[in-house]
A and B are shown apart, each in its own frame.
Chain A
Amino acid sequence: MLLELPRDLHYPITVRKITKRPGDEVKVRDALFRYTYVTKVKHGDRYTDEETEVDKIIAADFESPIDGKIEKWLVWTDDVIRHPREIIDITEPCKHAVQFNGLCTECGKDMTGIEVPAGAGSERANIQAAHDTDKLLISQEEASEVDELSKRRLLNARKLSLVVDLDQTIIHAAVDPTIGEWQKDPDNPNYEALKDVRSFKLSDDGPGMQGCNYYIKLRPGLEQFLENVAAMYELHIYTMGTRQYAQQIAALVDPKREYFGDRILSRDESGSMVAKNLTRLFPVDTRMVVIIDDRGDVWKWSPNLIRVSAFDFFVGIGDINAGFLPKTQDIPPPPKSDIKPTTNGTSENGEHTADGEAAEEANTPTDTTALQQVVAMNDPTMQEVQTKAQEETIASQLERKPLLKLQQKLDEKDGVDTTAPTESSATQNTDSDSSSDSESPSPTKAKARHSILKNDDEELVHLEKSLRLVHDRFFAEYDKKRKTTSPKTGRVAQLSGKSKAPLSDTTTEPDTLTYIPDIKRIMPAMKDRILDGVNIVFSGVLPLGTDIQTADISIWARSFGATITDKVTRDVTHVVAARVGTQKVKTAVKKGIKVVGTDWLLKSIQRWKKLDERPFLLPGIGQKMLEDDNMNADEPPKAPSSELGAQDLLEDNKLGVGPDFLLSSEDEAEALTETDEDRQQQPRRKKPKLDLQPHSADNTYPVPEGMEDTEEARSPVSDINKDEWDAIGDELKDFFGSDVDTEAESDAESVRSETSVSLRGKKRRRDEDAEGGGSGQSGQEKNGDGGRANKLQKGSGGSALRAVSNAETSGKDTPMMPQEQTQEEYEADLAAELERELEAAEAAENGSS
């Protein structure tokens, strides 16, 4: 080993005498050579008080930091050394590369004693090597070696590594003794779901939870999942539970120890109670590692992570091992679509998110920052306190029996529901204060009693698909790289001389490792595409006061390419709402933005696929839209008649401006193809203005003559210049974004429409010119499938045109098209309608309560 001089010597130094010769054996702290350096010393005068600085030459010995045999010297007597540099080559008998608890495992020396010089002892092996102990440490070189071997092995087997979390990812654990009672009672409504729940006891539990049963529910389909995934991945367990707990679970999910083997890492060895770290398991390279976990924050949203939705079988229990972590943010489920807004069911749903412990839970996580947690972790007394706190939570679960209470409440509700449905809302509202669960049971009519435990989780099926996709993609890329580059190396070897040819086998062998693509690049790229162009606003999903951008669900959605915005602006494509009736939902409806339930987002993420929004549109709003769209799409365009002129205008206009709805209602499968996706992903609000230009050129567009004339006649603002238009536009935007005031809005609209109509003539001419320039569009349009064909073509072929017209609009003035006006009108209508509906709902509700 080449020894380098330490940094803290007094450079420059001059080598004076070399005391050891090559071939000599040296021990730690033996003097290797003597050197001198010059330093300034203060020299006091004997008679005056003056001090003078004098150069002084000081001699010192350089001691060997390691044992070994000197191979050769790289410095000679009288050399002046100005910087730290290598000076000597010493061969060590033992490199102390693997150390167990401070002992070198090869020579048995204690590496932590004070006689070991800094840097030569325990510091040399600082990487934790084993899953199940934090005492075995290895050096960087040793780690790389092991890593290389394991990568080669995995590549040969065409596998990747998969780090699996336990709690709420593949299992759900609870200690509530109610579960045991239910399991013994075949009459219990939860009996079916609890059939395969297994239990065990831990011996290392603290007092208060001594001898308590841990009930473990495996996520449905787990066995199959593990079997299939184990063929593609080498599985590791990384859990925040204790070692014993982890081993018990492993014995349950993998009794033959064929999937996980010894690769189990628990919080006892993890080194941190609040964070999981991939480098703990893969210190050198994480290019081939995928993580599945229900928490993104503990991994700091690592790019290797596939965040899965939490498995919440024992409702309201949560993760029993997450006592040290900040609480998760609950995402309220969307209102069930089979409940009419007027029934008490929805009102209860709405209150559920706001009341009781759900709100409490939501408030707590923001109180403690991650930093505080980390600081707290370093303090052993704090750790003890937290361990106690966790024990207490478990003990309290034992006593409180939250599941029993939930079931009782549900039974109670069932009873009330069947006897007096109208009365129930009042009683339940008082009850819900103490409810510990944000997930409301679905109100489907079933047997006499409903079960609170449902066996309906299907995450693993989708997860397996995603994992397969990632695996296939990884190896496709790997094979491609290997194929494209290996002939080259062969060629290079050929060119560089025949002598190297026989070596090529050995030289290309290590090269295979350089072809390994990076999961950190592949997977985010795959995920990014899924919700690309989706711009989401949350409404009623996150508790007030949460930072929208750093919320769990936001980061999650963003990792799939979505954008999160806090205001409903024109760029927004989806409003994800937990309930109807919020300001944002109203605004969105007014603007024609899709309003979907949270499950649309969650399921899209779960399936790695942008799902069709229609089944997830919020009841009341979305479904109304949906119905309208269906109606329009199904009906052939009507010929405009004089009486129906206005009505037709509205409808056709809707066809024109609602490409998303139209598309989605037209053909689901088509909507998922690439081009259509692109089209869908265009910011919706930009469309009306730009897309509809040909409409005005198109004579089939049914504008009632009289209307046009009158509007044109009283246009008072036709001479507003561009700047003023911009200002007005901004103002309007703000206005629409903030509060709803139909009167003011309609005023604004009329202003807009008037001016736009006045500009239409000019615009039309321009469009005609463009068409005359030879696009085949006009002919097809005139053939007359009306706005619809036009629309589709516009969407697919018109991106360049759109860009041009974009430039145009920014360069010249911004003419408002009549379509815009009518659309606004339509939306105003819709909004008014909706508001009426909501009012009616509220009235009904008030009446019933």
Chain B
Amino acid sequence: MFFLRYLEREISIHPSFFGANIQDVLKQQLYADMEGSCNGEYYIVCIMDIYNISAGKVVPGTGSAFFTILYRAILWKPFKGEAIDCVVDSCKPQGVFCYAGPLSVFVSKMHLPHGYKYNPDATPVNYSGPDGDTIERGTAVRVQILGLRSDVTNLFAIGKMSAGWFGIAPV
């Protein structure tokens, strides 16, 4: 699910960047640091705007300056039970790896749509269904998230496609 959220970030700037365009430096730094990052809970998809940059505070001893930036960003936080569209990355004997944007989702072969069979000899390797459909690298699928797990910098999910309306996404 996507959210718009007010966030805060502290950035320290080396004295060599002090100058008229320090605001730009800060913004660039913020974009570079935060956009596309994940804190283990959500992904920051895009920074909408920066609505406040605090006055800088020089850190004694180093000469760097600290700024606190308040900004607004679009987040994506996957939830258990949520239905997401993914692209299949690879097929394994145990199931299928897909990606929903940055999120890696694994769907066990148990949770593939009914009747799908693993074909290791096909190029590319695929799962084929009773009606001739195949799930292979690049196929668009709709997945329900069964479980989520977070790392310090990333999220992982497992999903299923076995219920109605899930599986190969209609084109």
Shortest Cβ distance from B9 into chain A, in angstroms? 23
A130 close to B92 (CB less than 8 A):
yes
Of all chain A residues, the one with the shortest Cβ separation from B146 is: A108
B73 at the interface (CB under 8 A from A): no
Given A106-B108, A257-B123, check contact A146 B93 (CB 8 Å).
yes
Task: Name the B residues within 8 Å of A330 (CB-CB).
Answer: none
Per the bound structure, the CA–CA distance linking A15 and B97 in Å amounts to: 47
B124 at the interface (CB under 8 A from A): yes
Per the bound structure, the CA–CA distance linking A838 and B151 in Å amounts to: 70
B113 at the interface (CB under 8 A from A): no
A261 close to B158 (CB less than 8 A):
no
Per the bound structure, the CA–CA distance linking A673 and B147 in Å amounts to: 66
Within A249-266, the residues touching B (CB, 8 Å) are 256-258, 261-262
A103 close to B93 (CB less than 8 A):
no
Of all chain B residues, the one with the shortest Cβ separation from A101 is: B156
Task: Name the A residues within 8 Å of B148 (CB-CB).
Answer: 103
Write the A491-519 contact mask toward B (1 if CB under 8 angstroms, else 0): 00000000000000000000000000000
A110 close to B123 (CB less than 8 A):
no
Shortest Cβ distance from B29 into chain A, in angstroms? 16
Task: Name the A residues within 8 Å of B156 (CB-CB).
Answer: 100-101, 103, 135
Per the bound structure, the CA–CA distance linking A108 and B82 in Å amounts to: 14
Task: Name the A residues within 8 Å of B91 (CB-CB).
Answer: 262
One of A100, A129, A261 near B93 (C-beta < 8 A)? A129
B116 at the interface (CB under 8 A from A): no
B149 close to A150 (CB less than 8 A):
no
B149 close to A101 (CB less than 8 A):
yes
Within A68-127, the residues touching B (CB, 8 Å) are 98, 100-110
B92 close to A103 (CB less than 8 A):
no
B111 at the interface (CB under 8 A from A): yes
A150 close to B120 (CB less than 8 A):
yes
Per the bound structure, the CA–CA distance linking A106 and B159 in Å amounts to: 9
Given A108-B146, A108-B158, A129-B93, check contact A100 B106 (CB 8 Å).
yes
B92 close to A129 (CB less than 8 A):
yes
A110 close to B149 (CB less than 8 A):
yes
Which of B95, B120, B158 gathers the greatest number of chain A CB atoms within 10 Å?
Answer: B158
Given A103-B156, A146-B94, A149-B93, check contact A109 B123 (CB 8 Å).
no
One of B93, B110, B123 near A150 (C-beta < 8 A)? B93
Within B108-134, the residues touching A (CB, 8 Å) are 108, 110-111, 120-121, 123-125
B12 at the interface (CB under 8 A from A): no
Per the bound structure, the CA–CA distance linking A136 and B92 in Å amounts to: 10
One of A103, A142, A258, A261 near B147 (C-beta < 8 A)? A103
Which of A105, A107, A109, A262 gathers the greatest number of chain B CB atoms within 10 Å?
Answer: A105
B37 at the interface (CB under 8 A from A): no
A103 close to B149 (CB less than 8 A):
yes
A257 close to B124 (CB less than 8 A):
yes
Shortest Cβ distance from B84 into chain A, in angstroms? 15
Write the A137-149 contact mask toward B (1 if CB under 8 angstroms, else 0): 0100010001001
Task: Name the B residues within 8 Å of A136 (CB-CB).
Answer: 92, 94, 97, 106
Write the B68-104 contact mask toward A (1 if CB under 8 angstroms, else 0): 0000000000001000000000111111010000000
A157 at the interface (CB under 8 A from B): yes
B158 close to A103 (CB less than 8 A):
yes
B94 close to A110 (CB less than 8 A):
no
One of B124, B151, B158 near A262 (C-beta < 8 A)? B124
B123 close to A256 (CB less than 8 A):
yes
Per the bound structure, the CA–CA distance linking A102 and B92 in Å amounts to: 18
Given A110-B149, A136-B106, check contact A105 B95 (CB 8 Å).
yes
Task: Name the B residues within 8 Å of A102 (CB-CB).
Answer: 149
Per the bound structure, the CA–CA distance linking A102 and B157 in Å amounts to: 10
Per the bound structure, the CA–CA distance linking A135 and B106 in Å amounts to: 10
A157 close to B121 (CB less than 8 A):
yes
Task: Name the B residues within 8 Å of A130 (CB-CB).
Answer: 90, 92, 94, 97
B94 close to A105 (CB less than 8 A):
yes
Per the bound structure, the CA–CA distance linking A110 and B156 in Å amounts to: 12
Shortest Cβ distance from B37 into chain A, in angstroms? 16
Task: Name the A residues within 8 Å of B90 (CB-CB).
Answer: 130, 132, 262
Shortest Cβ distance from A150 into chain B, in angstroms? 7
Task: Name the A residues within 8 Å of B146 (CB-CB).
Answer: 107-108
One of B97, B111, B121, B123 near A106 (C-beta < 8 A)? B111
A133 at the interface (CB under 8 A from B): yes
Given A136-B92, A146-B94, A258-B123, check contact A106 B149 (CB 8 Å).
no
A17 at the interface (CB under 8 A from B): no
Of all chain B residues, the one with the shortest Cβ separation from A257 is: B124
Per the bound structure, the CA–CA distance linking A42 and B110 in Å amounts to: 56
One of B94, B97, B120, B137 near A142 (C-beta < 8 A)? B94
Task: Name the A residues within 8 Å of B110 (CB-CB).
Answer: 105-106
Per the bound structure, the CA–CA distance linking A157 and B122 in Å amounts to: 13
Task: Name the A residues within 8 Å of B123 (CB-CB).
Answer: 256-258, 261
Write the A596-627 contact mask toward B (1 if CB under 8 angstroms, else 0): 00000000000000000000000000000000
Of all chain B residues, the one with the shortest Cβ separation from A142 is: B94
A153 at the interface (CB under 8 A from B): yes
Task: Name the A residues within 8 Å of B137 (CB-CB).
Answer: 262
Which of A108, A110, A130, A142 gathers the greatest number of chain B CB atoms within 10 Å?
Answer: A108
Task: Name the B residues within 8 Å of A149 (CB-CB).
Answer: 93
Of all chain B residues, the one with the shortest Cβ separation from A256 is: B123
Per the bound structure, the CA–CA distance linking A106 and B110 in Å amounts to: 7
Which of A101, A110, A129, A135 gathers the greatest number of chain B CB atoms within 10 Å?
Answer: A101
B108 close to A98 (CB less than 8 A):
yes
Within B148-163, the residues touching A (CB, 8 Å) are 148-149, 151, 156, 158
A106-B111, A261-B123 are known contacts; what are 17 more A-B pairs with Cβ within 8 Å? A98-B95, A100-B158, A101-B156, A104-B147, A105-B95, A108-B146, A110-B149, A130-B90, A130-B92, A130-B97, A135-B156, A138-B94, A142-B94, A150-B120, A257-B123, A262-B91, A262-B92
**30 A-B pairs, CB-CB below 8 angstroms?**
A100-B106, A100-B156, A101-B156, A102-B149, A103-B147, A103-B148, A103-B149, A104-B147, A104-B158, A105-B94, A105-B95, A105-B106, A105-B108, A106-B110, A108-B146, A108-B147, A109-B147, A110-B149, A129-B93, A130-B94, A130-B97, A132-B90, A133-B97, A136-B92, A136-B106, A146-B94, A150-B93, A153-B121, A262-B90, A262-B91
**Chain B residues near A (Cβ < 8 Å):** 80, 90-95, 97, 106-108, 110-111, 120-121, 123-125, 137, 146-149, 151, 156, 158
**Chain A residues near B (Cβ < 8 Å):** 98, 100-110, 129-130, 132-133, 135-136, 138, 142, 146, 149-150, 153, 157, 256-258, 261-262
> Shortest 7 CB-CB distances between A and B: which pairs?
A108-B147, A108-B146, A105-B108, A100-B106, A101-B156, A103-B147, A262-B90
